[in-house]
Chain A
Amino acid sequence: MDKMKPRIALVIGCGGLKCAAAIGVLQVLEAEALFPDMVVGCSGGAIFGAAIAMGFSSDRMIEALAQIWTRDTMQKLDFPSLAKIALPKQIGFDDQIGILDDRGLTNGIAKAFGAKTTFADTVIPFHCLATDFHSGEQVILSEGNLTRAVRASAGIPILFKPVECDGRLLIDGGLSDPLPVDVAIREGADAIIAVGFETPLSHSFSSPMNFASQMFNILVNQLFYRKFAFFNLAYHSEIVIITPQFESDIPLNDVNSIPFVIEQGRKETLKHLAHLRQVIASKQD
């Protein structure tokens, strides 16, 4: 009888543009003939997760990224939202707030993956993670329109409007689960390669907004550490966690850093390769 082939999951956590490190991770895995049997993505990681699940080459992924991360995506403001923020009482405030015009992001994702593409069209099974804005719960998206799911997962609150999906208002998956290893476990993965990102903190506090973003960054890191600790404790033998290192944060509009980010992903993966081979070998017995 043939040896059982272990099911390998690749999980890509939230981390904005840093998630491009997943391209470097994949390059190393492919060179080792290790192909993921499922992909899970969260926030920025959902964009790269979807690209991997669609079977894109590294070059095509970088191209897709260029379609999504344009100047407009990161700079064009949403004036109705700004008006609501400035004059909430006069204009009326609601939960549809995003200071950036999200058409660039939404159309970019649609262009990269196809507006009508569904989860059923992916080459590798794909799951992406969002957060319910009203209940704070983790929401796993595994079927239906792919563009919509990726857009929901990548919906950094305040910057981009929440997205309605099946009657729920969804925001960035990072708020409930920055590294959704649990989804891979639930889907029956034998070996899990989890690419997670710490958010480097700021040392500049020139406005109340800086305090707010520092607070959110501390919180997302704390949530990340806890999930990390939990999965190490619960399923340590199956999980290899790769955390590409960045000394300072990569701003969302810093597309020139992408080659560096990919390289950091490669470097960090190479460090864990021996461990990864060992995990996979142990699952073949």
Chain B
Amino acid sequence: MNMKKSVVLVIGSGGIKCAAAIGLWRVLQEEDIAVNSLVGCSGGSMYAALIANHTDAKVMEELSRNVWTSDVMHGYTENLKASKDGSLRFNERSGLVDDSVINKKLQDVYGEWNFSDLKIPLMVVATDLLTGEKVTLSEGSLFHALRASLAIPIIFPPWEVDGRLLIDGAASDPLPIDVAIQNGADVIIAMGFPLDYRARFRSMTAVQEQLNSIYMNNILTSTYAFYNLAHHAEIFPIIPEFDTTISMFDIEKIPEVIERGERAARKQLPYIKKMLQSPPARFG
């Protein structure tokens, strides 16, 4: 009798830190733990897509070095100035960055892919700019879904999918465990990234980032608290720990980030294995 448990991997938002998912993926492969589906949010959605494609870990590392470079911020400084002196008019489709660079980078890797081409089913989370609702994308062009999920407001222009203007999935859910639950997960391996707090403030942007971090970290904590209590599924949180601050374009630190991801995954491994070996709960 086949009573295998459904394992869902959730990779939350966290920018370049999401490369830690490569370390987690290596551990799962070595231990022969099969993943039945994947959920990704913001930066985490790129890695979830690569895992869903069974991309080799070495290739994933290479792709990471190509994506997290400062040229994705093309036009930011000029546009910021122009928005202040009024020469740049803003509307609901605006952002301070000229997104042709990030679009091209995403197209180069994911441009040809559809969700249906992936080896493992994938769900990508974004946020509806107008209603604030979480939007789960799981069909059609992968590029559109990833671009939407990555659209950090103010920086990148929102992205339209099926008539809705979408922004960064992190705004509605930095770690979308509920999407995994709705898809019938028995075991959820959830990799999340709390944001760093600042000690010093040198500009208004720093203050806004701090407020953003406070909100998101409190959302992250209450998400864990809720699902621990609700206990719809076994949830294994994987929170990589970093000794130093990893900033947005620290590509030199990618090997360290991956290693931290691996370490955090190994810590939970005995519990995950034990859970997978025990017979599934029978209901009814």
Contact = CB atoms under 8 A, between A and B. Distances in A.
B94 A205 contact: yes
A220 B223 CA distance: 14
B202 A88 contact: yes
B213 interface: yes
A105 B201 CA distance: 24
A222 B129 contact: no
Given A175-B211, A218-B171, A226-B226, A207 B90 contact: yes
A171 B206 CA distance: 15
Contacts of A223: 215, 218-219, 222
B210 interface: yes
B225 A220 contact: no
B214 A215 contact: no
Contacts of B154: 208, 211-212, 215
Contacts of A93: 201-204, 206
A218 B217 contact: no
A157 B211 contact: yes
Given A175-B218, A219-B212, 9 more contacts: A133-B214, A175-B211, A208-B94, A215-B153, A215-B212, A218-B127, A226-B226, A230-B226, A233-B226
24 contacts: A85-B203, A88-B204, A93-B204, A95-B201, A133-B210, A158-B211, A175-B214, A201-B131, A203-B130, A205-B90, A206-B90, A207-B83, A208-B83, A208-B154, A211-B94, A215-B212, A216-B211, A219-B219, A220-B215, A221-B132, A222-B219, A226-B222, A226-B223, A230-B229
Interface of A: 85, 88, 93-95, 97, 131, 133-136, 157-158, 175-177, 201, 203, 205-208, 210-212, 214-223, 226-227, 229-230, 233-234
Interface of B: 80, 83, 89-92, 94, 96, 127, 129-132, 153-154, 167, 171-173, 197-199, 201-204, 206-208, 210-219, 222-223, 225-226, 229-230
